[in-house]
Amino acid sequence: MSDMFDLYYWPQIQGRGEFPRLVLEAARAPYRDVARLSEAEGGGIEAMMKRMEDAAHPPFAPPFLVRDGRLVSQAAEISAYLGERLGLAPETEAERLFARSVALTTADLVAEAHDTHHPVGTSLYYEDQREEAVRRAGEFRAQRMPKFLGWYERVATTNPARSGWLVGPAMTYADLGLFQVVEGLRYAFPRRMAAIEGRYRLAIAIRDRVAEHPAVARYLASPRRIPFNEDGIFRHYPELDAD
């Protein structure tokens, strides 16, 4: 069995691919970011699309992961698959099941954050749905951000291990996912996050501890970490932000 993991995702954005990428980086696992490679290296977007088309179990969309011919898709599923094989998942069955639930809830938050700037349709430009986006973002800031962040806070508070992490006694892929959404929300809604994140002391502490993890810190300081931009899931449009 090969130790190498092949991660397939769009090369210009963090997007949903960043969730499994953080697990790979935190675990110091050997991996190739295939769509970022040159054609000579067997990579590129065309290689990614061909792999999707030829798959016996085709993914709906990137990201997907391939190892030894086995394909795993969906960011939360990939993160769980990696975490459980690379030492970034809880040990007990109950905690492993709950960590998967946390990752799936994080995926729900990511989808809602995306829909603040594309509430009508993903095939339309933001400028074609700006009015609806302003209304959707207002509800997201007022209701959904506190609901999700408050839930993470509750999960950390009630963790029986009393570790300060979301699930179990040590950092897992669930914590890496929380780190990524806090970073994304800070980028997309800096005014709103500045106003409310003080309410979620434990959740923000998890974000800080993940950022200080040696392997994660090296990754964040490297060119492998693509900056947030207005082509990704978390986008900063000043008209969508407020205290």
Contacting residues for 122 by C-beta, under 8 A, at least 6 apart: none
- Looking at residue 2, what is its pLDDT? 72
Would you give the distance in Å from CA 69 to the centre of its chain?
24
Q: pLDDT exceeding 70 applies to what percent of the chain?
A: 100
Q: Is the confidence at residue 1, as pLDDT, over 90?
A: no
Listed residue (88, 74, 86) closest to 31, CA to CA = 86
pLDDT tier at 26 (50, 70, 90 boundaries)? very high
Q: What is the distance between the alpha carbons of residues 222 and 204, in angstroms, rounded to a whole number?
A: 23
Q: What is the distance between the alpha carbons of residues 56 and 58, in angstroms, rounded to a whole number?
A: 6
Structure-token match 């009630």, residue found: 158
Q: Are 30 and 4 in contact (CB under 8 A)?
A: yes
Beta bridge partners of 32: 6
Q: What is the DSSP letter of 141?
A: I
**Max intra-chain CA distance, the chain:** 52
- Looking at residue 177, what is its pLDDT? 98
**Element (DSSP H or E) covering residue 116:** helix 93-117
Mean pLDDT, all residues of the chain: 97
Q: What is the pLDDT of residues 181-209, one digit of tens each?
A: 999 999 999 999 999 999 999 999 999 99
Structure-token match 């800096």, residue found: 190
Listed residue (119, 83, 117, 87) closest to 103, CA to CA = 83
Contacting residues for 160 by C-beta, under 8 A, at least 6 apart: none
Specify the pTM: 0.97
Please state whether beta strands 31-33 and 5-8 pair in parallel, antiparallel, or not at all (unpaired). Answer: parallel
Q: Are 178 and 205 in contact (CB under 8 A)?
A: no
Q: What is the mean pLDDT of residues 234-243?
A: 98
